[in-house]
Amino acid sequence: MNSNNFSVVGKSVPRVDIADKASGRTKYTNDLSSPGMLHAKLHISDRAHAMIHSINLKKAWEVSGVRAIITGESFPFPVGPLLADRPPLALKKVRYFGEPIALVVADTEQQAKKAAMLIEVVYEDLPVVNSPSEALKSDTPLIHEDLGSYKVQVKGVYPVPNTNIANLTKIRKGNLEAGWKNSDVKIDSKVSFGPSDHAALETRSARAEIKPSGHVIVHTASQGPFYVRKLLSQFFHIKPGMITVHTPAVGGAFGGKGAVQLEFLAYLASRAVGGKLVNLQNSREEDLMASPVHIGLEARVKLGATQEGKLQAAEIEYLFDGGAYSDTGAGISKAAASDCTGPYSIENVYCDSYCMYTNHPYATSFRGFGHPELTFAIERAMDKLAEKLNMDPLELRLLNAIKPGDTTPTQVHLNASNIGDISACLLRMKEMLNWNPDTQIMKTEDGKIRAKGISCLWKTSSTPPNATAGAVLTFNTDGSVNLSCAAIEVGQGTKTVLAQILAEKMKMAMKDIHVKLEVNTHHDPHQWKTVASSTTYIAGRAVMAAADDAITQLKKIGAVALKCLPDDLEVGNSRVYVKDSPEYGVKITDLAVGYKYPDGNTVGGLVLGEGSYNVRHLTPLDPETGFGKPGPQWAVGVQAVEVEFNPEDFTYRVLKSATVLDAGKVINPQAAIGQMRGGMYMGLSWASRESFIFDGHGKILNPQLRTYDILRSSEIPEYLVDFVETPLVDGPYGARGMGEYGVIGMAGALGNALAKACGTDLYQLPLTHERIWGSMKGGGR
């Protein structure tokens, strides 16, 4: 990575939040206690699909300290970000195991929990829909009988009434028939996996209070406090200005805290007790079962290519397991359709991408938003094609890598700025992993098999066309700057990166920039959400605009102080100085709150910098062809793993895990490496271990971190990370964004490596030892 002439951008400056975090003093939502605060606890469903015959609250009310109990009837209207299909508390029926049915508010958490456990629900069981393919069959019971009456909240979501289809996005590009005609070799590949979870260490929590003035105050562990405000406003008919949402540091999110769920409940709970402050925090079990999860998928990918390996046709079906409610699952199925082929140039593409209702917990965004999922499907198919063509898998990818001049599945024209360089990533990976035909599969002396697997990846943001961010700069009397921006620090380092962008632009030292972790919708400028690897880009541009504004003002006052024109001046090193005589200048300290003459007269007032940025020219996808522009740019990458497989007992270890990412300019290399390592770990954990285990009736059998298995420190591979830096012309200093990308290719790379090592198709996640044994022996489940 070259550092050009930047002084702060491109440097691994320490995180701005690190000292407080290292001492355990950073405050998260649930760390702020308030005397007199009431506590709420959920009663959740122990059926996956059933009519609610009756709810008996008698015993619950007998618990001392109980102040209110609410059920679905207290707000009998559906809510949801894309499609309003989910009552905050189950109404008449339950649609997943773990669905919130009632909420008890009491003086203490113990009382609330005790009472919640004493609520008795009588159910009448309904047939359970266990998978998206089952949900698609015409004789399967409907999970939402009233789908046709639900209100679609955003353009581009297409539910199909009288079915279990929450959304169908179609891609029709080129002429599929012609594509098949030109294909000498065809493959047909299937993959599937069930829902899993984000499992952020901090469970979700929210608290709400309604002031006598009508002002609603919410504190929540969220990736989108403004989004919380928007939905509360929309569904409870409160003016946005009457709602203030606070979010302090967030203890991991991974997409799971972009969903709005507990905030609705905390508001209803507060309303039930006369507006008093009520706190609702998930237990781990509730966080896994009752709150939204990571989506599952059943996919079928057919590819056609010439003898030389040039791709001609792709016919794809994605059946996402959206669970009981659509939340952002409908958007995930759309995002997956937009990038359905992976980063390959294919003229003829046909894709149906469904978000299906099932009786599983409902899905929301997970790091990668449909892309880790589609990439597993595509990359397994690419390896099968390579095998059939007798081609090196890396060479096949190199031959078909998408590049400027090509179009995406939704027919966006790619240019040298809006897409990264996938070929450069492949070549770098080839070198890094010593990839050649002899080393892809090797026997060790003790009879184990070492194999390498590779995966390409790409992703655009799928942001709404009005995704926006703002930044406000205020100056302190010591000349330092406060950066106010509603980007949420979930651990990714966004506050540091934004401070770096500001420092670079203002030519200031990092120590003179102050960023607080807490976001407050009353003080901070509007921001869509902190999701989609889009914050560096959108908020970064807002910060640059705010810096420009502040610089203009500083020059204006500086010109008075220095008796010259603003154009004669430059800002840097906390001074405003004359360009050609830098020794002649004035400190920002002496300008930021007005310039004071020796006689006390002051000119200029406060310097207040402001800036904002909005993504531009995005369009919804056409319902019949998918034609449209889903995002401003594509970051791309290549990931690979090396595994050691033991054919004696079907166990394996991942020895190496590598990422080469082209996310444009890397603002903070060490933070970026951390994102890639953490992404690889999360991707490997998901691909090798993580999944909910359901019994035949939709009941979750592993709702704890003891049984919902996550990789531990002893099980990690050696990580290799490198970057290619193709600048995004629009991006701050050329940056694209990268938070999600480390996860995207891991399942594909792991599946490909293990399939090679085992000599058998592996099409289901997670790739447990037992499953491999089953695939090889024709046994298993």
Partner 1 sequence: MENIETGQLIKLTVNEQSKEIYVRNSETLLHTLREKLGLMGVKPGCYNGDCGSCTVLIDGIPINACHILSVEAVGYQIMTIEGLKDQTIPEEFIKNWAIQCGYCTPGFILNSYALVQNNPDADDAAIDEWLESNICRCTGYQEIKESVKNILNVKR
Residues 6+ apart with CB under 8 A from 411: 173, 626, 627
Binding-site member from 132, 248, 251, 372 for partner 1 (CB under 8 A): 251
Q: How far is the CB of 374 from partner 1 (least distance, A)?
A: 23
> How many whole angstroms separate alpha carbon 752 and alpha carbon 440?
11
- Segment lying near partner 1 (by CB under 8 A), choices 20-28, 269-277, 350-358, 620-628: 20-28
Q: Does 680 bind partner 1 (CB under 8 A)?
A: yes
Binding-site member from 1, 22, 51, 701 for partner 1 (CB under 8 A): 22
Q: Does 653 bind partner 1 (CB under 8 A)?
A: no
Binding mask 57-96 for partner 1 (x = CB under 8 A): ----------------------------------------
Binding mask 181-210 for partner 1 (x = CB under 8 A): ------------------xxxxx-------
Paired strand residues for 293: 363
Q: Does 642 bind partner 1 (CB under 8 A)?
A: no
Q: Does 18 bind partner 1 (CB under 8 A)?
A: yes
**Quick one: how far is CA 25 from the chain centroid?**
26
469-508: which residues touch partner 1 (CB under 8 A)?
Answer: 489-493
Give yes or no for a contact between 262 and 204, defined as CB atoms under 8 angstroms apart.
Answer: yes
Q: Does 222 bind partner 1 (CB under 8 A)?
A: no
Q: What are the DSSP calls for 314-327, one per residue?
A: EEEEEEEEEETS-T
- Segment lying near partner 1 (by CB under 8 A), choices 245-253, 498-506, 633-641, 765-773: 245-253
Closer by beta carbon to partner 1, 163 or else 205: 205
> How many whole angstroms separate alpha carbon 138 and alpha carbon 150?
21
Binding mask 110-139 for partner 1 (x = CB under 8 A): x-----------------------------
Q: How far is the CB of 705 from partner 1 (least distance, A)?
A: 4
- Segment lying near partner 1 (by CB under 8 A), choices 293-301, 403-411, 623-631, 698-706: 698-706
Q: Supply angle C-alpha 434, 191, 297, rounded to 5.
A: 115
Q: How far is the CB of 578 from partner 1 (least distance, A)?
A: 40
- Segment lying near partner 1 (by CB under 8 A), choices 67-75, 235-243, 249-257, 454-462: 249-257
Q: Does 453 bind partner 1 (CB under 8 A)?
A: no
Q: How far is the CB of 200 from partner 1 (least distance, A)?
A: 6
Closer by beta carbon to partner 1, 398 or else 705: 705
Q: Does 225 bind partner 1 (CB under 8 A)?
A: no
Of 404, 426, 399, 435, residue with least CA distance to 417? 404
> How many whole angstroms separate alpha carbon 393 and alpha carbon 174?
26
Closer by beta carbon to partner 1, 30 or else 418: 30
Give yes or no for a contact between 127 and 49, defined as CB atoms under 8 angstroms apart.
Answer: yes
Of 462, 459, 546, 555, residue with least CA distance to 498? 546
Tell me the three-class secondary structure of 448-491, residue by residue: CEEEEEEEEEEECCCCCCCCEEEEEEEECCCCCEEEECCCCCCC
Closer by beta carbon to partner 1, 601 or else 714: 714
**Token pair recorded at residue 181:** 């005609």
Closer by beta carbon to partner 1, 25 or else 239: 25
**Token pair recorded at residue 263:** 């905030």
Q: What are the DSSP calls for 145-188, one per residue?
A: TTGGGSPB-STT---BTTTTEEEEEEEEES-HHHHHHT-SEEEE
Q: Does 710 bind partner 1 (CB under 8 A)?
A: yes
- Segment lying near partner 1 (by CB under 8 A), choices 175-183, 289-297, 388-396, 711-719: 711-719
Q: How far is the CB of 741 from partner 1 (least distance, A)?
A: 14
Give yes or no for a contact between 355 and 167, defined as CB atoms under 8 angstroms apart.
Answer: yes
By residue count, the chain amounts to: 781
Q: Supply angle C-alpha 375, 376, 379, rounded to 5.
A: 75
Closer by beta carbon to partner 1, 591 or else 682: 682
- Segment lying near partner 1 (by CB under 8 A), choices 54-62, 296-304, 635-643, 700-708: 700-708
Binding-site member from 15, 43, 294, 380 for partner 1 (CB under 8 A): 15
**Token pair recorded at residue 623:** 């319902």
> How many whole angstroms separate alpha carbon 184 and alpha carbon 171?
23
Could you give the strand order of the β-sheet that contains 449-459, starting from the edge strand earlier in sequence? 441-443, 449-459, 635-646, 651-662, 718-724
Q: Does 655 bind partner 1 (CB under 8 A)?
A: no
- Segment lying near partner 1 (by CB under 8 A), choices 426-434, 562-570, 602-610, 714-722: 714-722
Phi, psi of 232 (to 5 degrees): -60, -45
Q: Does 26 bind partner 1 (CB under 8 A)?
A: yes
Binding-site member from 145, 693, 704, 729 for partner 1 (CB under 8 A): 704
Q: How far is the CB of 9 from partner 1 (least distance, A)?
A: 18
Q: How far is the CB of 112 from partner 1 (least distance, A)?
A: 14
Q: Does 671 bind partner 1 (CB under 8 A)?
A: yes
End-to-end CA gap in the chain = 47
Binding-site member from 2, 33, 307, 390 for partner 1 (CB under 8 A): 33
Question: Could you check whether the bond before residue 766 is cis, i.e. omega within 30 degrees of 0?
Answer: yes
Q: How far is the CB of 215 from partner 1 (least distance, A)?
A: 27
Q: How far is the CB of 541 from partner 1 (least distance, A)?
A: 24
Residues 6+ apart with CB under 8 A from 724: 420, 421, 424, 425, 428, 660, 661, 662
Q: Does 212 bind partner 1 (CB under 8 A)?
A: no
Binding-site member from 1, 3, 4, 27 for partner 1 (CB under 8 A): 27
Backbone Cα Rg of the chain: 27
Of 184, 187, 183, residue with least CA distance to 174? 183
Give yes or no for a contact between 533 and 738, defined as CB atoms under 8 angstroms apart.
Answer: yes
> What Å distances lie between residue 437 and 115, 393, 447, 588, 654, CA to CA?
64, 10, 20, 61, 20
Q: How far is the CB of 202 from partner 1 (least distance, A)?
A: 5
Binding-site member from 6, 180, 719, 773 for partner 1 (CB under 8 A): 719
Q: Does 678 bind partner 1 (CB under 8 A)?
A: yes
Size of the site for partner 1 (CB under 8 A): 54
Residues 6+ apart with CB under 8 A from 438: none
- Segment lying near partner 1 (by CB under 8 A), choices 96-104, 119-127, 612-620, 672-680: 672-680
Q: Does 28 bind partner 1 (CB under 8 A)?
A: yes
> How many whole angstroms separate alpha carbon 746 and alpha carbon 749?
5
Q: Which residue has the tokens 């059946």?
A: 319
- Segment lying near partner 1 (by CB under 8 A), choices 143-151, 186-194, 207-215, 712-720: 712-720
Closer by beta carbon to partner 1, 200 or else 559: 200
Q: Supply angle C-alpha 524, 530, 535, rounded to 5.
A: 90
Q: How far is the CB of 685 from partner 1 (least distance, A)?
A: 9
Closer by beta carbon to partner 1, 628 or else 679: 679
Binding-site member from 250, 301, 643, 772 for partner 1 (CB under 8 A): 250
Binding mask 268-287 for partner 1 (x = CB under 8 A): ---------------xx---
3-state percent helix, strand, coil for the chain, nearest multiple of 5: 30, 30, 45
Residues that bind partner 1 (CB under 8 A): 14-15, 17-28, 30-31, 33, 110, 199-203, 249-254, 283-284, 489-493, 670-671, 673-674, 677-678, 680-682, 704-706, 710, 712-714, 716, 719
